[in-house]
């Protein structure tokens, strides 16, 4: 799980957002180098209620789009509703239902990845894993599997 920390000293928000976006890019590039990544899966950007959050999400999306283009990797997206339907079979599935299905489908592999991740971030980890699972049925992933 990639996390960035808000600056401890007083900084201009824009400068801190840029620093945190660069940290994200460095961490993602490390993952791309370490594993044989053949596609990037992400939950599609939805409308958020806060301009501040929207700006930060946009910066993260910019990082994903750029890395996707630079590394010539397909960027697959699933809406929150698609994730719920594909993972839990129910478009109105709750967070606990999604977490249950992720644990059921990924088992100990996923639980081992949560070691060292603070409890407050588990929900985000489950969301990310569910999104990856939802994208597994995408025709791009199916084509990549056939080509392997």
pLDDT at 112: 77
pTM: 0.80
CA angle 114, 52, 4 (to 5 degrees): 35
Cα–Cα distances (Å) from 83 to 24, 67, 73, 79, 147, in that order, read 23, 23, 21, 6, 25
Q: Is the pLDDT of residue 12 over 70?
A: no
Summarised one tens digit per residue, pLDDT across range 90-119 is 999 999 999 999 999 988 777 777 777 777
Q: Write down the domain spans for the chain.
A: 13-147
Q: For residue 141, how many other CB atoms are within 10 A of its CB?
A: 17
For the chain, the distance separating the N- and C-terminal CA atoms, rounded to the nearest angstrom, is 27
Domain spanning 13-147: CATH superfamily: Ribonuclease H-like superfamily/Ribonuclease H (3.30.420.10)
Cβ-in-10-Å burial (0-12, 13-18, 19+) of 23 comes to: middle
Please report which confidence band the pLDDT of residue 68 belongs to, taking 50, 70 and 90 as the band edges: very high
Cα–Cα distances (Å) from 98 to 17, 47, 89, 109, in that order, read 30, 21, 10, 16
pLDDT at 2: 76
């Amino acid at each position: 799980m990639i996390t960035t920390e808000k600056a401890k000293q007083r900084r201009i928000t824009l400068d801190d957002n840029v620093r945190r976006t660069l940290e994200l890019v460095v961490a993602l590039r490390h993952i791309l180098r370490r594993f044989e990544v053949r596609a990037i899966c992400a939950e599609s950007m939805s409308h958020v209620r806060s301009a501040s959050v929207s700006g930060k999400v946009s910066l993260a999306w910019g990082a994903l789009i750029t890395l996707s283009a630079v590394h010539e990797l397909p960027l697959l997206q699933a809406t929150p509703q698609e994730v719920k339907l594909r993972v839990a079979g129910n478009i109105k599935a709750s967070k606990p239902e999604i977490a249950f299905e992720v644990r059921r489908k990924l088992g100990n592999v996923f639980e081992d990845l949560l070691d060292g991740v603070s409890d407050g971030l588990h929900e985000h980890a489950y969301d990310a894993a569910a999104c990856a699972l939802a994208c597994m049925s995408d025709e791009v992933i199916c084509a990549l599997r056939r080509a392997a």
